[in-house]
Chains A and B, each alone.
Chain A
Amino acid sequence: MATAPPGQLRLGWWTRAAVHAGLATAGLSRRLGLGAGSIIGGRVTLALDPHALRHLAAGRRVVLVSGTNGKTTTSHLVAAAVRTAGRVAHNAGGSNMADGAVAALAEARDTEYAVIEVDELHLAAVAEAVDPAVVVLLNLTRDQLDRATEVGAIAAAVGQALARHPSTVVVANADDPMVVSAAALASRPVWVAAGASWLGDASSCPRCGQTLTFTEPGWQCVCGLARPTPDWWIEDSKVCTADAVLPLDIRLPGQVNRSNAAMALAAACAVGISADQAASALREVDVVAGRYAVVHRGGQDLRMLLAKNPAGWAGMLSMLSEPRPLLVIINAREADGRDTSWLWDVAFEQFGSRQVVASGERAADLGVRLSYAGLDHRTVADPLAALETLPPGQIDVVANYTAFHQFRRRLGREREVAG
Chain B
Amino acid sequence: MSGESTVEIGLLLPDVLGTYSDAGNATILAQRLRWRGIAAEIRTITARDVPPTGCAVYLLGGGEDTAQLFAADWLRRHDQLRRTLETCAVTLAVCAGLQILGQSMTDSKGQHYPGLALLDITTAPGRQRAVGEVVATCAVPGVGSLTGFENHRGVTTLGPGTVPLGRVLTGTGNGTGTGTKYRGEGVLTDRIIGTYLHGPVLARNPALADHILHQATGQTLSPLDLPDQAALRNTYL
Contact = CB atoms under 8 A, between A and B. Distances in A.
B145 to A, nearest CB: 16
Interface string B53-81: 00000000000101101100000000000
Interface in B178-237: 198-200, 203, 226-229, 231-232, 234-235
A204 B199 contact: no
Contacts of B171: none
Interface in B21-66: 21, 23-24, 27-28, 31, 46-48, 64, 66
B79 to A, nearest CB: 20
Contacts of A231: none
Contacts of A371: 226-228
A352 interface: no
A367 B231 contact: yes
Contacts of B67: 204, 209
B15 interface: yes
Nearest to A358: B228
Contact of B64 (A150, A200, A203, A362): A150
B149 A341 contact: yes
Contacts of A211: 15-16, 46-48, 70
Interface in B92-128: none
Contacts of A340: 149, 199
A364 B228 contact: yes
B151 interface: yes
A368 B199 contact: no
B19 interface: yes
A368 B21 contact: no
A146 B131 contact: yes
Nearest to B228: A367
A350 interface: no
B132 interface: yes
B59 to A, nearest CB: 12
Contacts, number: 110
A200 B24 contact: no
A209 B74 CA distance: 12
Contacts of B47: 204, 211
A129 B29 CA distance: 51
Contact of A341 (B131, B198, B228, B231): B198
Interface in A170-212: 200-201, 203-204, 208-211
Given A368-B232, A369-B203, A372-B203, A201 B19 contact: yes
Interface string A132-145: 00000000001001
Given A204-B67, A210-B70, A372 B19 contact: no
A142 B149 CA distance: 16
Contacts of B66: 152, 204, 208-209
Contacts of A345: 18, 21, 23-24
A51 interface: no
Interface in A341-372: 341-345, 358, 362-365, 367-369, 371-372
Given A341-B20, A372-B27, A145 B151 contact: yes
A264 B46 CA distance: 36
Taking residues whose C-beta sits less than 8 angstroms from the other chain, chain A's interface range is: 35 or more
A364 B131 CA distance: 22
Most buried by B among A142, A364, A374: A364
Contact of A364 (B18, B23, B231): B231
B19 A368 contact: no
Interface in A144-167: 145-147, 150-153
Nearest to B203: A368
A414 interface: no
A310 B131 CA distance: 20
A146 B232 CA distance: 20
A413 interface: no
A10 interface: no
A368 B226 contact: yes
A203 B27 CA distance: 20
A142 B19 contact: yes
Contacts of A372: 24, 27-28, 31, 203
Nearest to A210: B70
Contacts of A128: none
A343 B204 CA distance: 13
Contact of B232 (A150, A209, A365): A365
Contacts of B69: 209
B95 to A, nearest CB: 11
Given A211-B16, A372-B28, A367 B21 contact: no
A382 interface: no
A75 B27 CA distance: 38
A66 interface: no
A379 interface: yes
Nearest to B201: A341
Nearest to B27: A372
A367 B16 contact: no
A339 interface: yes
A224 B31 CA distance: 41
23 contacts: A145-B151, A146-B149, A146-B151, A150-B19, A152-B64, A201-B19, A204-B47, A210-B70, A211-B70, A338-B149, A340-B149, A341-B24, A341-B149, A341-B199, A344-B23, A344-B200, A345-B21, A345-B24, A367-B227, A367-B232, A368-B229, A369-B203, A379-B227
In the A-B complex, the 10 residue pairs with the smallest Cβ-Cβ separation, listed nearest first, are A341-B199, A344-B24, A209-B66, A367-B228, A364-B231, A203-B15, A364-B232, A341-B21, A344-B21, A211-B47
Given A203-B16, A340-B149, 7 more contacts: A203-B18, A203-B46, A204-B47, A210-B70, A211-B16, A345-B18, A372-B203
